[in-house]
Each structure stands twice: as C-alpha cells, then as structure tokens.
A = this chain, B = another copy of it.
C-alpha cells in the first residue's frame, strides 16, 4: 500500500488589532454539512507541486485569495509531519493521504484589514491565556494549570521539574520564548482538548463531542494549528531580540509608546519605559519626523518612523527587553 503525501501551507499572520497581539483566523466550511466550523483555524492552503514554483509564492497567493490582502514580511517556521497530529484534510483527499504542513510566520501592520468573510483577527490570548504576563503572573496559572499539572506529574521528578521550569514556579524565572514547550506540556498532560481529539481519531473512532472547555486552558483550534501558532509566537518573541522585526508590525509613523506597547503585547511582559526608549534610540533605527501625536491623553508624543533604508546597510540588531521589576 502506498500512502500519498500532500503538502499544506499554514500561515500565522500577526498584527496588532485594538491594542492586542492578534492573529488572523478562519472558520472553514465543512464540505458535507455546509456548516462553518465551531473551531477556528489558521489560513491554510494546499501546495500544488505542478503549479507552484516555491512555497512562499504559493503561500502569498492563497493568502491573498482567502484574505484579500498581500503579505509583507514572511518567514518559514517549521515543517510539521507527526502522524496522528496531521491536518484534517487527510480525510478529504482520495484514500489515505498524509498531510505535511509547512508553517509560515507573516507580520502585517495594524492598518491592514481583511474584508473576507469567515476570517477574523483573534487576540492570541484567546488561545494561550497563560502567556500574558504584562499585568504580572496570571492568576489562572496557579488556580487552574498548576494543580492539574501536579496531578499529571505525580511522583515523576522529571515531570515535576519540567512543569516547574516552564511555568516559573518556585522562583524559576519566566522564559517568554518557550511558548511551544508550554503548549506541548499541556498537550501531553491532556489539558489541551486537541490531545483527546487526536487520541480518538487514532483509535479510528469519531471524535467525541468536546467537553466543556476550561477557559484557563485556552481555546483549542482545528488540527495542529494551535501548535503552529505556539511555534510562531515563540519564534517571534525570540526574533524580536536580535532582529528589528517589530517595525513590520508598525504603521509608517508611531510614537515610542506605541512601539513599546507592541513589543509588550508580543513578548507578553511589561517593560521599563525609560530604559526601553534608550534601547530604541541607541539602535538609531528610528528617527523623529518632527511632528507630534496629540491624542495621547497627556503631553503630545513625538512621532517616529523606521529607517528601513538602514536595513540593507547593517547587520541590524533587535531590541533588548528591559524588564519592569514587579
């Protein structure tokens, strides 16, 4: 028996919407029932080996078709191929097809809008509520996550220490980059509804009706899309520090507070205002445009622009995160 392979492309398209780090989601329409899915997913499209010259071109094309805007910054994330966690398209194709999905990260300025039906901007705190530490340690970690993880870990020292490190218990520090590791831990511990669904499918059965969701554990997504999203968020948080990628999320002109709020939303931590400004100014990648924005509620803020022309001429640093002590 030969199993054929189908390559799918998924896009994590990130933008700031209403002050929150958000990601473009779709609710696909089931071809049989004509119902739109209750779960959200990422924009997803097949890669046609005959027509498409490169993955990236294929991605840009189908995203433009689905969402009606053209992507700017795009980078390949990872290729996912685990059996049992593959995309639901596997059922749709002829016979047994294995779906390999190549995940991409795309960044869009806030102004970019989508008028396409069935697509929406969702703040990613919907999917990963434990990742937002801007207001200090989220209560739900100790209320809802830690107790269940302790039950799962039992006497296993390895499991306990893994949970302790990833969720910053007992004075171990919060590492905002390890989004994927945390999601995978929750998945393994059975706290992600996706785990139960994948298990049911593997046993040949129809997925059971989802149980009542525990809001603290975040909205699940279609297929392995929450895993791809976690990969994207972790990668973005890391990249922020060594490449000037934040500016891909900003409009043409912005205040330094806008910039700080964007970095905070992505990194999920609060930053020290004065030191953040210094860090930004030291890179010399922004310059004032000589005008101010008066709609700030206080003193008008100077408007800056990103000096994109320097990108070609330099190794180009990122931003350090001068954390705000609690």
Contacts and interface: CB of A to CB of B under 8 A. Distances in A.
Interface of A: 1-7, 47-50, 52-55, 76, 78-79, 81-84, 98, 100, 102, 161-162, 165, 173, 175, 242, 312-313, 315
Copy number in this complex?
A: 2
B173 A315 contact: yes
A50 B1 contact: yes
A175 B2 CA distance: 46
Contact of A7 (B5, B54, B78, B173): B5
A53 B5 contact: no
Given A6-B5, A161-B312, A175-B315, A82 B102 contact: no
A242 to B, nearest CB: 8
A76 to B, nearest CB: 6
A79 B102 contact: yes
A53 B83 contact: yes
B76 A54 contact: no
10 contacts: A3-B49, A4-B4, A5-B5, A7-B100, A50-B98, A54-B83, A55-B79, A76-B79, A79-B102, A173-B315
A148 to B, nearest CB: 22
A83 to B, nearest CB: 5
Given A161-B312, A313-B161, A315-B173, A4 B49 contact: yes
A82 to B, nearest CB: 5
Given A4-B5, A5-B6, A47-B81, 18 more contacts: A2-B50, A3-B48, A3-B50, A4-B4, A4-B49, A5-B5, A5-B47, A49-B100, A52-B83, A53-B82, A53-B84, A54-B81, A55-B79, A55-B81, A76-B78, A76-B79, A81-B102, A161-B312
